[in-house]
Amino acid sequence: MDQELLRQCEAEAKKWLSPAFDADTQAEVKAMLDAEDKSALIDAFYQNLEFGTGGLRGIMGAGTNRMNKYIVGMATQGFANYINKAFAGKKDTAVVVGHDCRNNSRLFAETVADIFSANGIKVYLFESLRPTPEISFAIRQLGAQAGVNITASHNPREYNGYKAYWDDGAQVLSPHDTGIIDEVNKVTIDQVKFTPNNDLIQIIGGEMDIDYLNAVHEAMVDQDVILRQKDLCIVYSPLHGTGRVIIPAALRSWGFRNINVVKEQMVIDGNFPTVVSPNPENSEAMTLGMKLGTRLNADLVLASDPDADRLAVVCRDPKGEWCILNGNQTALMLSYYIIANKKKLGQLKGNEFMVKTIVTTETIAEIARRNGVEIRDCYTGFKWIAREIKISEGEKKYIGGGEESFGYLPFDKVRDKDSPASICLLCEIAAWAKDNGMTLYDLLMQIYLEYGFAYQDAVSVVKPGKSGADEIKQMMEDFRNNPPKTLGGSPVNCVKDFKTLKMVQNGVESTLDMPATSNVLQWFTENGTKISVRPSGTEPKIKFYIEVKGEMGCAKCYDSAVATAKEVVAAIKQDLKL
């Protein structure tokens, strides 16, 4: 054991035995100090939980490297200091505060509200848990200057987090992100104003729900198909989270009448007792929904993650068996339907645009281009999609955007991922498909036949610790200095480096038009393969996103097209030594 590190952790921990911390916290810290095994102490105090560009996220417990009311308090005091500087001289500065279903989320949200109010900032505090997109919507609706949502999204149960938003309803971008971080890093525990000014805290709830539900209607494309297929059999699960408050009501307000919820997962519980992980990307989380769907002979099964920004879709394949769509397929289907049916109904005026992240399927770009809709690429993270909406507000019309990690936003009244609006629209798409004698699966096959088949795979290489971080850094440098010449048997004809903002295509160098640099590399081959590689910003891993194009002559050729694509992916992994 590193004795110097242990001494540093013990010294830091002893500071938490002062009267500035409550008795329970002191007792938890004392137990770690007294324990023979010091690993828990070191893990809790070896570093400060970093307030990054997205806020905070970490395991709950006492310590500087944990999510607790004191770390939340110092973050909020720094955020309040920055707001008061940024809006100096403005009367009635306000923030919106919300939270999800997790353990301690209400406590942290009330702590945040207390501190903002103590700093002279009006607080609109939601009465109980609400979806992330509703927090984003409320900031814009109420004309607030900022917002905080207490959530760890789809992380395991022991985690909680803190998302910081700015006045446009989006997570903070430059220059505010670094400005807030600088202020947070200056704060010490004795500077935190924990005593609230209750006159500045206003509880909100039902009235904002109504406004948000009305806004979600703007994502609707064709109500007639919903009216014709109002009895579409829908199964929905909130995975114990915030979607239970809004999503069934949203579906009813759109006109759907056969909405069935997974009762065991409608229970609000931060321990997520019915799933291993509350992540709709994991097929295990969809098991109870599929069981209910089978019993009811449902048309589709849907779920949202605990803060209801991400969603998952399960539909039936030609054999009648459940098929879980991946994030690219869901984004593809939403994009296709929005463009095709708005065009058919004469709703496209020529000034519309869509946004996707650089690691999301290129087929979306092909659909947009063929139909005369502008398509924009941005970095991973919905704050970048929100940025594109903001810079074109009043000039061009945003009609949809998404990313491969199960997040989509089909309208512009919210500036973060929105599963309530996306789920409603997916049900409209299923109704439209049924109206035309198809399932969602059939529609996906139709899209592949019309715009080309593509298969996606992702690989995460985990490299823990400092040595792992060094290894990941070296891997990126090696790839940057010696890019592959061929991948999967096809020559690489285009390299994009988002750290230098340089692109080399067929030997010709040009500059990439992006708002900032990012440590991401992309390689494109002659046969249409795209590989993206980037280190994770939150975990000790390096991620590879692979997209392979293929031939699919008929709807029944899908399985063989996937099998062929998997062979190419295997060859690419071998080329990259994955």
Say which amino acid occupies 352: E
Rounded Cα gap, residues 464 and 425, in angstroms: 40
- At 466 the three-state DSSP class reads helix
CB 350 within 8 A of CB 372: yes
Rounded to a whole number of angstroms, the CA Rg of the chain reads: 24
Number of Cβ within 10 Å of residue 106's Cβ equals 17
Rounded Cα gap, residues 60 and 107, in angstroms: 12
Cross-strand partners of 169? none
Token code pair at residue 394: 């009043």
Rounded Cα gap, residues 478 and 112, in angstroms: 44
CB 60 within 8 A of CB 104: yes
Rounded Cα gap, residues 145 and 87, in angstroms: 8
Q: Among candidates 204, 293, 216, 275, which has minimal Cα distance to 248?
A: 216
Token code pair at residue 335: 């994009």
Q: Among candidates 155, 94, 169, 164, which has minimal Cα distance to 125?
A: 94
Instruction: Tell me which DSSP letter residue 413 carries.
Output: S
Residue 304 bears catalytic tag? no
Cross-strand partners of 533? 521, 544
Instruction: Tell me which DSSP letter residue 269 carries.
Output: -
Measure CA 52 to chain center: 16
Strand blocks (E) in 226-370: 234-237, 259-261, 300-304, 311-316, 322-324, 352-357
Measure CA 516 to chain center: 20
Instruction: Tell me which DSSP letter residue 49 carries.
Output: P
Instruction: Tell me which DSSP letter residue 472 carries.
Output: H
The CA–CA distances, whole Å, from 266 to 218, 271, 562 equal 27, 13, 36
Region label for 439, one of left (φ > 0), alpha (ψ between -120 and 50) or beta (otherwise): beta
Cross-strand partners of 149? 98, 163
CB 73 within 8 A of CB 111: yes
Rounded Cα gap, residues 386 and 154, in angstroms: 21
CB 333 within 8 A of CB 440: yes
Instruction: Tell me which DSSP letter residue 171 carries.
Output: B
Q: Looking at 105, 117, 136, 153, which residue is catalytic?
A: 153
Region label for 377, one of left (φ > 0), alpha (ψ between -120 and 50) or beta (otherwise): beta
Instruction: Tell me which DSSP letter residue 219 carries.
Output: G
Task: Show which residues are catalytic.
Answer: 153
